[in-house]
């Protein structure tokens, strides 16, 4: 199958609401290097399907790197210094991840962001991420930086209440979303991924979510 999806031009910022913005194409120039770094992380900590506290298998496959990483199991949602599958510390965060996140946060108005955790999600066609808040971090005044690579996705962004109106925001390869300040606890998710093929990732979408967890 041919590559059906073109990449967004770089350098175009699209505000979502106060405290949240899409930096269109911000990661394009470093996309291949980012994917190479993801592969190096995955070689040490393979993707896995975590289980929710209620026992449901998550459709999105996950792994991570940094000083700690977000995990989910029957005991709940939390950050842990150790990969539960291997019993070893998570792989070190690639310097490229940290530098990109710091630059993106600064451009969005959040200077001084230094992430210590990166959750890496792998989406296949049909997989989705349910509407949720990122609230397991110690300091909720620090923003979130989310990097999209590969197949395009429909990002949902709502408000503080789960039933607040949702905006659907198309995200393409190289787009970066940053949210913090008044939008830090807004609900968000990803609609089921549509089938397709991207030149760099094939039939997949890879998402990096960088946070200051501790």
The distance of Cα 78 from the centroid of its chain, to the nearest Å, equals: 16
Other Cβ atoms within 10 Å of 200 Cβ, number: 15
Domains and CATH numbers, the chain: 12-198 (2.60.120.590)
Q: How far apart are CA 76 and CA 79, in angstroms?
A: 10
Q: How far apart are CA 130 and CA 214, in angstroms?
A: 24
**pLDDT the model gives residue 11:** 64
Supply the pTM of this predicted model. Answer: 0.93
Q: How far apart are CA 135 and CA 141, in angstroms?
A: 11
pLDDT in tens, 84-94: 999 999 999 99
- Give the burial class of 129: count Cβ atoms within 10 A of its Cβ; 0-12 exposed, 13-18 middle, 19 or more buried: buried
175 close to 8: Cβ distance less than 8 angstroms:
yes
pLDDT in tens, 27-78: 999 999 999 999 999 999 999 999 999 999 999 999 999 999 999 999 999 9
């Amino acid at each position: 199958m041919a590559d059906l999806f073109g990449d967004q031009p770089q350098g175009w910022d699209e505000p979502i609401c106060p405290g949240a913005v899409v930096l269109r194409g911000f990661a394009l120039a470093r996309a291949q290097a980012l994917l190479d770094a993801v592969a190096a992380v995955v070689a040490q900590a393979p993707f896995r399907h975590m289980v929710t506290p209620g026992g449901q298998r998550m459709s999105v496959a996950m792994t991570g790197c940094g000083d700690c990483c977000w995990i989910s199991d029957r005991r709940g949602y939390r950050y842990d210094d150790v990969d539960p599958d291997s019993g070893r510390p998570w792989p070190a965060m690639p310097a490229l991840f940290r530098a990109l996140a710091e630059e993106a946060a600064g451009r969005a108005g959040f200077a001084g962001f230094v992430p210590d955790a990166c959750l890496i999600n792998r989406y296949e066609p049909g997989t989705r991420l349910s509407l949720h808040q990122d609230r397991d971090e110690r300091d909720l005044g620090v923003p979130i930086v989310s990097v999209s690579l590969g197949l395009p996705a429909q990002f949902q962004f709502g408000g503080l209440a789960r039933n607040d109106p949702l905006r659907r925001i198309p995200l393409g390869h190289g787009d970066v979303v940053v949210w913090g300040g008044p939008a830090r606890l807004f609900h968000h998710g990803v609609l089921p991924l549509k089938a397709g093929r991207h030149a760099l990732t094939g039939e997949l979408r890879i998402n990096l979510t960088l946070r200051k967890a501790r």
